[in-house]
Amino acid sequence: MADGGPNWEGLLKWSLAHSDGTRPNRNLSEEERKWFMEAMQSQSIDVVKRMKEISLVMQTPEDVLEAQGVTSADIEDLLDELQEHVESIDMANDLHSVGGLVPLLGYLKNSHANIRAKAAEVVTTIVQNNPKSQQLVMEANGLEYLFTNLASDPDVTVRTKALGAISSLIRHNKPGITAFRLANGYAALRDALASDNVRFQRKALNLIQLLLHENSSDCNVVTELGFPRIMLHLASSEDLEVREAALRGLLVLAQDKTDGANTRLADEDEKLKQLLQERIKGISSMSPEDLGAAKEERQLVDSLWNACFNEPSSLREKGLLVLPGEDGPPPDVASKLFEPRLRAFSPNPADTKPATETKEAPPLLLGLGPPSEAANAQGSSGDRDDTNGSSRSN
């Protein structure tokens, strides 16, 4: 090896020479085998060992680390590395056994906002489509820490990352959903929708849709809390994804027939009609390129008009509902949300329960009451701090 690193050029030549099909296969000599293994092992690490080392750092008090010259940027780098390791479900589940989960959750209360935000990102990765880690995080009071950041952190990025982690934590997790609802979660989501941060708004709207899909009786709750009016406002957002998410939420409420309700939007009938007419006018003036990007919005506007007024929208007459070359399926308002990047093809845990399982685990209650007025006021002021994004968002 040269300069302390593997001789990649030599390794490539050796590999080509032994696999180009021009000579018969032969057994490797002991010397060749040893050289090959050294070349490969020089670039591999013991992931579990490295996670233990990172866990030891996270367990070290903040003042001790600062005294040793460790900065918040250094901690962020460690959390970035840890996040890469826990992309694997096995490694995510091993984090608790090596002593890293509890100190990671402790970082949700760190004095540095960037570390609180990054810790929530790592938690998101750990619990995505992972029932075992979801349970471990719940048992370690992770939902309580995340909810506190969502409801009252002064930094809007921290609040947004906490909301993303909560969304992944309670997905396909009935005890988690129950605990979130009991902790006055819908009030926190309403505050998120009042933010000026479009990323925060999108995550809140998507989680609302997920919750309504899991429990349609919550349609009555969100209606009483004034969500339809907020969604009507957001359906005129300049951000396409916010508009679409708001329209999806309105469509869920419009199609809800529980408790014999004709529509959850009856009180907003005129405002809804005005909104949809404005969206039809806006869609009609779009360029061909923008029309293609707004395919879901076009379908949602038509479906919402049909659900509320029992007739197709004028988009059909104008030929704007389905453009040439497009298929026109109805919008999937129950689409998979928050699907993890590397685990999208893992089986749904809800579909793999043993047939003999009849007893559900009791809900894990947080005992966390509604956020105080002071906390809500503080959290609302934080909504306007910045609009930082994340490559690992859902």
Instruction: Determine the average pLDDT of the residues in 122-130.
Output: 97
Query: Buried b / exposed e across 235-253, counting CB within 10 Å, b at 16+?
Result: bebeeebbbbbbbbbbbbb
Q: What is the percent of the chain with per-residue pLDDT over 70, rounded to a whole number?
A: 71
Question: Is 65's pLDDT higher than 60?
Answer: yes
For residue range 207-264, list pLDDT tens digits in order.
999 999 999 889 999 999 999 999 999 999 999 999 999 999 999 999 886 655 556 6
Residue 13: the pLDDT is 59
* Residue written as token pair 């490559």: 391
Question: Is 344's pLDDT higher than 60?
Answer: no
Instruction: Determine the average pLDDT of the residues in 373-384.
Output: 43
DSSP 221-286: HHHHTTHHHHHHHHTT-SSHHHHHHHHHHHHHHHH--GGG-S-TTGGGHHHHHHHHHHHHHHHHT-
Question: Is 345's pLDDT higher than 80?
Answer: no
- Model confidence at 387, pLDDT cuts 50, 70, 90, reads very low
Give CA–CA dist 92/342, Å, rounded.
13
Question: Model-level pTM?
Answer: 0.73
Question: Is 35's pLDDT higher than 50?
Answer: yes
Residue 129: the pLDDT is 94
Q: Check residues 112 and 16 and name the one with the higher pLDDT.
A: 112
Q: Give the chain's count of helices (H) and strands (E).
A: 22, 0
Q: Check residues 337 and 302 and name the one with the higher pLDDT.
A: 302
**Range picked from 12-21, 260-269, 295-304 for highest mean pLDDT:** 295-304
Residue 326: the pLDDT is 77
Q: Average pLDDT over the chain, rounded to whole?
A: 82
Question: Is 329's pLDDT higher than 60?
Answer: no
Instruction: Determine the average pLDDT of the residues in 319-334.
Output: 70
**Range picked from 16-25, 260-269, 329-338 for highest mean pLDDT:** 260-269
Residue 390: the pLDDT is 41
* Annotation: CATH topology of 43-183: Leucine-rich Repeat Variant (1.25.10)
Which residues neighbour 283 within 8 Å (Cβ) at sequence distance 6 or greater?
291, 294, 297, 298, 301, 315, 320
Query: Buried b / exposed e across 212-225, counting CB within 10 Å, b at 16+?
Result: beeeeebbeebbee
